[in-house]
Amino acid sequence: MPVAYLGLGSNLGNRKANLDQAVELLKAHPGIQISKVSSYYETEPVGYTDQPDFLNAAVEIETELSPRELLNTVLDIENKMGRKRTIRWGPRVIDIDILLYGTGQIEEEGLQIPHPRMMERRFVIEPLSEIAPELKLPDGRTALEAAKLLRNEDRDS
Ligand code: GSY
């Protein structure tokens, strides 16, 4: 069964409860088996910075769903949890991004895999490197190598 990786984030309301609920809703889906969940990481907002800090996590799943079905499932969960799409990069109860789906590369309307901004986002790579340190990322580095690089960049900036 294909293995996929998801990035989760929340910066509105009870952020831990939101991440917990998103994990439970993923778990409850008959086409998804969760194999790993990272710790929850407190992170400063990146991009649009005038918003509360996030809690971020990464999840490894095995899934019978196609990438498009997986996208529709995570969008359903976001909607069920009350996600409102007001400001594009603004605060959100829950955000679930598909980071990787096996070694697949997909460029379709509304669906890009690997996630186009994952490599530059420490809030994605740190939790991912915790649950899958040896996972090969799109640039050929392992998740652990990519995390170290981003840590060093942050330290030197
Ligand atoms: O797509 C991610 C939403 N997001 C985040 C996030 O999840 N964590 C942090 N730290 N900053 C963010 N900026 C955006 S947009």
pLDDT by residue (tens digit) across 46-68? 998 999 999 999 999 999 999 99
Mean pLDDT for the stretch of residues 89-113: 93
Cα(124) to ligand 1 centroid in Å equals 9
pLDDT band at 89 (very low <50, low <70, confident <90, very high): confident
Mutate to test the pocket of ligand 1, among 38, 42, 46, 88 (most ligand atoms within 8 A of CB): 46
Tokens of 155: 């330290």
Ligand 1 pocket member 56 (CB < 6 A): yes
Q: Which residues are catalytic?
A: 83, 92, 95, 97
Q: Over the stretch 9-30, which tens digit does the pLDDT of each residue have? A: 999 999 999 999 999 999 999 9
Tell me if 113 sits within 8 A of 74, measured CB to CB. Answer: no
Say whether 103 sits in a helix, a strand or coil: coil
Ligand 1 pocket, residue 78 CB under 6 Å: no
Domains of the chain: 3-117 (3.30.70.560)
pLDDT at 88 over 80: no
Strand (E) or helix (H) holding 42: strand 41-43
Name which of 68-72, 85-89, 103-107 the model is least confident about.
85-89
Q: What is the DSSP letter of 118?
A: G
Residue whose pair of structure tokens reads 């799109």 in the numeric block: 138
Side-chain half-sphere CA neighbours of 79 within 13 A: 6
pLDDT at 84 over 90: no
Task: Tell me what pLDDT residue 37 has.
Answer: 98
Residue 87 has pLDDT above 80, yes or no: no
